[in-house]
Chain A
Amino acid sequence: MIEINELSFGYANSDKLFKNMQLAMEKGGICGLLGKNGSGKTTLLKVIAGLIFPREGSCRVLGKVPSRRQPSFLEEIYFLPEDLFVPALTVDNYVEFYASFYPRFDHVLLSSCLNEFDLPRDKLLTNFSHGQKKKFLIAFGLATNCRLFILDEPTNGLDIPSKAQFRKLLASIATDEKLFIISTHQVHDVENLIDSILILDEGKIIFHQSLLEVAKQLAFVQQQTEPDLSACFYYEKQLSGYATVITNSNDQDTHVDLEILFNAILSNKTKMQKLFNEVKS
Chain B
Amino acid sequence: MNAHDTLNLKRLSHLIINDLRLQAKTILIAAAAIIIFIMLMPFRVTDDSSAYFNILYVGGFIFTSVAFSDLHNRSKAHLFLMLPCSNLERFLSKWFLTSVGFAMGALIIYYILSVIGVAFYLVMFKWHVNALNIFDPDLWNGIVQYIILQSIILLGAIIFKKQVLIKTALVISCFFLVLGLFSLLIASIVFYPDYSQSEFSIQATLRGGHFIFWVMLAPLCWYITYLRITLYELI
Q: Are B8 and A71 in contact (CB under 8 A)?
A: yes
Complex CA distance for A74 and B84, rounded to whole angstroms: 5
| Interface size bracket, A side | 20 to 34
> In the complex, what residues of B have CB within 8 A of residue A271's CB?
none
The residue among A71, A77, A97 with the most chain B CB atoms within 10 A of its own CB is: A71
Q: Are A83 and B75 in contact (CB under 8 A)?
A: yes
CB-CB contacts below 8 Å: B165-202 with A: none
Q: Nearest CB to that of B85 among chain A residues?
A: A71
Q: Does B227 contact A (CB under 8 A)?
A: no
Note all chain A residues with C-beta closer than 8 A to B235. Answer: 11, 52
Other-chain contact of B21, A53, A68, A97 (Cβ < 8 Å): A97
Knowing that A97-B22, A100-B14 are A-B contacts, what are 4 other residue pairs whose CB atoms are under 8 Å apart, sorted by A's residue number?
A50-B81, A53-B233, A89-B22, A101-B84
Judged by DSSP, the binding face of B is helix
Q: Which size bracket describes the interface of B in this complex?
A: 20 to 34
Q: Is B5 an interface residue (CB 8 A)?
A: yes
Q: Closest A-chain residue to B74, C-beta based?
A: A83
Q: Quick check: A81 and B87 within 8 Å, CB to CB?
A: no
B78 at interface by CB-CB < 8 Å: yes
In this complex, what residue of B is CB-closest to A86?
A: B79
Question: How far is B234's CA from A174's CA once the two chains are assembled, in angstroms?
Answer: 29
Are the CB atoms of B78 and A51 closer together than 8 Å? yes
Q: Chain A interface (Cβ within 8 Å of chain B)?
A: 11, 46, 49-53, 68-72, 74-75, 77-79, 81, 83-85, 87, 89, 97-98, 100-102
A sample of 23 inter-chain contacts (CB < 8 A) reads A11-B235, A46-B234, A51-B81, A51-B233, A53-B233, A68-B230, A69-B86, A69-B87, A70-B1, A70-B5, A71-B8, A71-B84, A71-B85, A71-B86, A74-B83, A74-B85, A77-B82, A79-B82, A81-B75, A81-B78, A83-B78, A85-B73, A85-B75
Residues of B near A98 (CB, < 8 A) are: 18, 83
Task: List residues 210-235 of chain B with CB under 8 A from any CB of chain A.
Answer: 230, 233-235
Whether B234 and A52, one on each chain, are in contact in the complex, defined by CB atoms closer than 8 angstroms, is: yes
Inter-chain contacts of B89 with A (CB < 8 A): 71
Chain A neighbourhood of B82, CB < 8 A: 49, 51, 74, 77-79
B207: interface (CB < 8 Å): no
Question: Considering only CB atoms, which chain A residue lies closest to B229 in the complex?
Answer: A69
Q: What chain A residues lie within 8 Å of B76 (beta carbons)? A: 85
Interface, chain B (partner A; CB < 8 A): 1-2, 4-5, 8, 11, 14, 18, 21-22, 73-76, 78-79, 81-87, 89, 230, 233-235
Cβ contact of A75, chosen from B1, B84, B230, B233, cutoff 8 A = B84
Q: With a CB–CB cut-off of 8 A, which chain B residues contact A79?
A: 78, 82
Chain B nearest CB, measured from A15 CB (Å): 13
CA distance A97 to B81 in the complex (A): 15
- How far apart sit A85 and B71, CA to CA, in the bound complex (Å)? 12
Residue of B nearest to A150 (CB): B82
Q: How far is the CB of A68 from chain B (nearest CB, A)?
A: 8
Residues of A within 8 A of B85 (CB): 71, 74, 101
B230 CB contacts on chain A under 8 angstroms: 68-69
A70 touches B233 (CB 8 A): no
Q: Are B75 and A84 in contact (CB under 8 A)?
A: yes
- Across the interface, do A69 and B81 meet the contact criterion of CB distance under 8 Å? yes
Q: Which residues of B contact A53 (CB under 8 A)?
A: 233
Contacts of A52 in B (CB 8 A): 233-235
Least CB separation from B78: chain A residue: A81
Shortest Cβ distance from B81 into A: residue: A51
B14 is contacted by which of A49, A51, A101 (Cβ under 8 Å)? Answer: A101
A75 and B85 alpha carbons, distance in the complex (Å)? 8
Cβ 8 A contact of A71, one of B11, B21, B22, B75: B11
Distance A84 CA – B78 CA, assembled complex (angstroms): 9
Q: Measured between alpha carbons, how far is A150 from B144 in the docked complex, in Å?
A: 45
B14 contacts which chain A residues (CB < 8 A)?
100-101
